[in-house]
Structure 1
Amino acid sequence: MQLPKLGKLLILKAAEVWGNEPQIFTPWLSQNLELLSEALQIEELELKGTEVSAGDFRLDILAEDGEGFPVIIENQFGATDHKHLGQLISYVASLKNRATVVWVAERFKEDHRAAIDWLNSSTSEDYDFFAVEVEALKIGDSDPAPYFNVVAKPNNWARNVRAVSRQTSTGELASRHHMRISYWASFAEYLRAKNSKFQIRRQNKDHWFEFPIGRSGIVISSTITTKGRIGVELYLHKDPLKAGIRQLKADKTAIEQEFGEALDWQELLGKKASRIAVFKTDSDPSDENSYSELHDWMLDRMERFQRVFGQRVKQLNLELSDTSEDNVDPEDII
């Protein structure tokens, strides 16, 4: 038997590869954010700027996630220090909306890793904190490959459970909201475990959750109801004249063949929106024992919608569409 010939894996410090953090690594990372987003399991990161002024200091990189919320990235070669931790906390304290904080360093001291865990467990669920160690790997004479190792990250399931407990004690939530929060928290962990491009990174008490598909105003929306039904749909928020759905419907036969099953084409006359949906009936999203089956079905249909409609929605002519906000609650039309 011929045994395989294997190379020796070499681990290089970041400073050995990039040399200088502010002058080389930060510009390099700003141009390769997809590598970081893959490690963090964040669907998309869009660069907004480097060396961005933030009071008395500057942020190395400011980006946005797929939902338009800020992602603050601070880089550091060598071991972590209190200065960088303090800067990140100071900046987050000035924010009014959701944000993600990413601290990238060659090596995290245990007390700083513990501080990130504490921030994730103690702060609002609107803020996510990541600690990421960066190094490079190579085999023999190969070019070095960047490697991001996430050593601390938010536990959204635990945070959602705490949020539910807090709101339960104050009587703020109806029973349907408890069911929704529990289901979406479970689905969020399921997506993470599957390394899915779809991510849920906040508590949600609505019966729907929207995921970007690559064009503003159009989303993949997953839904659950207490009526024994779950669904996935392509939701066009601003389609009052139904131009979008009718352009897609002209290719209905090919679309449904690619999708693998019949779809429900709803123009929603009198509404600003339209949608193309598929439903699973006889489902009980309040039954935790059924989560696995429902999650499998939901993710499968979400991936089909992305595959079948991802390019098609980018080609739609929506010039006649209304640009005002669609304030219709989808529950009114389910």
Structure 2
Amino acid sequence: MKLGKIEKVDLRKVWEHEALKFTKWLAKEENILLLAEELDISIENIKPEESAGRYSVDILADEVSTNRKVIIENQLEATDHKHLGQLLTYASAHDASIIIWIVKDYTEEHKQAIDWFNKHMPEEISFFLVQIELWKIGNSSPAPKFNIVSQPNNWAKTLKKAASQEKGNPSELKLLQQRFWGELKDHMNNKTTFSKLSLGRTPRPQHWYDISFGTTKANISFSFNSKQSRISCELYIKNDKSIYDKIVEDEVQIKKQLDDDLSFLELPDKAAFRIIKTLNCDPFNEEEWKNYFDWLIDNGEKFQKTFKKYF
């Protein structure tokens, strides 16, 4: 078998102009999802070249689960003091909590600065330094690759926040849920049959686990519900009734594919919509976890295949 050779591509050969080419490319839904998946966050309401006083931030967006503001500053060169200053200016102008600096290359001094921010800023503030690269094999089209250079300690922050918001001894439950998701991910990767599901990078200590769906308008989510003794798979549609209405029109056909126990739910004020399938069980019974994993993976794949066409 003849193997190809991986070659690095000059960024400027694809994106001649940072603002006119690269920022516009990144702002497209399918492209910013590549970045979001690498950072293990969900992004929506993407606005390129948003005003920040006399200046414009490259991209302004919202983080889905917390509605925190996200800013992205692009630099198709090595990091410099000017862009670091702009990053802080834009963050203050938009009261951003997730600050992302995408660069071609970086100096150790600027990496240390971002590390320092993550160490000393409040836990709600997260800084990311990300290197963008382009690679190709033979005559293939260049493919982007995002490399995280510096990031916050998300696990520690999430666990600390979860512990502070619940009474009693929540850490044991949260850690159990994190282990459940971690073993689910390992189970899927070890399956002999290939799965098209794309699980998040880092299992977190929380009761849900989002699945990348190729759109910012919705996501597939698994849940570990200890209070109601069940696990579930759901499609969560964010503030788009037109999509939900199209799906409801096909409810009969969809239930034939996913079974009659499928529930269609409009959340209060129609801010979001859920289509959910549940399995009554004991999530704490670790001897049954592999069966639960198979159920989640099977239904996740069915949800992805059934609902993909609506987006």
Normalised TM-score (structure 1): 0.62
Unaligned runs of 5+ in 2: 190-195
Provide the rounded CA distance (Å) in 1 between the counterparts of 2:74 and 2:250: 48
Provide the rounded CA distance (Å) in 2 between the counterparts of 1:155 and 1:202: 13
User: How many correspondences in the alignment?
Assistant: 290
Q: Which of the residues 156, 159, 162 maps onto 1:158? A: 156
Give the secondary structure class of the aligned counterpart of 1:283: coil
1:107-186 correspondence runs (5 A): 107-140=105-138, 142-164=140-162, 167=164, 173-175=166-168, 177-178=170-171, 181-183=174-176, 185=178
Letter in 1 for 2:46: L
Shift of 1:126: 3.5
What is the RMSD computed on CA atoms of the aligned residues?
4.8
Conservation of the 8 A alpha-carbon contact between 2:73 and 2:100: yes
Identity of aligned residues (%): 31
Counterpart residue number, 1:82: 81
Q: Deviations over 1:67-120 (max 9, x none)?
A: 5543311111321123322332343345557x4322111112223233334434
Letter in 2 for 1:222: S
Conservation of the 8 A alpha-carbon contact between 2:47 and 2:61: yes
Letter in 2 for 1:147: K
Shift of 1:141: 5.0
Counterpart residue number, 1:49: 48
Q: Deviations over 1:225-271 (max 9, x none)?
A: 24543333457999xxxx97x957961xx545523x66265889xxx
Counterpart residue number, 1:63: 61
Provide the rounded CA distance (Å) in 1 between the counterparts of 2:260 and 2:210: 22
Shift of 1:42: 4.3
Of the structure 1 ranges 87-96 and 211-220, higher mean CA displacement relative to structure 2 is found in 211-220
- Relative to 1, partners in 2 of residues 1:305 and 1:19: Cα closer, same or farther, differing over 3 Å? closer
Q: Which of the residues 6, 9, 20 maps onto 2:17? A: 20
Give the secondary structure class of the aligned counterpart of 1:175: coil
- Relative to 1, partners in 2 of residues 1:49 and 1:233: Cα closer, same or farther, differing over 3 Å? closer
Structure number, greater radius of gyration: 1
- Relative to 1, partners in 2 of residues 1:267 and 1:159: Cα closer, same or farther, differing over 3 Å? closer
Counterpart residue number, 1:231: 232
Counterpart residue number, 2:192: none
- Relative to 1, partners in 2 of residues 1:204 and 1:57: Cα closer, same or farther, differing over 3 Å? farther
Unaligned runs of 5+ in 1: 315-334
Shift of 1:216: 7.6
Provide the rounded CA distance (Å) in 2 between the counterparts of 1:220 and 1:301: 11
Provide the rounded CA distance (Å) in 1 between the counterparts of 2:57 and 2:4: 39
Shift of 1:59: 0.8
- Relative to 1, partners in 2 of residues 1:196 and 1:100: Cα closer, same or farther, differing over 3 Å? farther
Conservation of the 8 A alpha-carbon contact between 2:182 and 2:203: no
Normalised TM-score (structure 2): 0.66
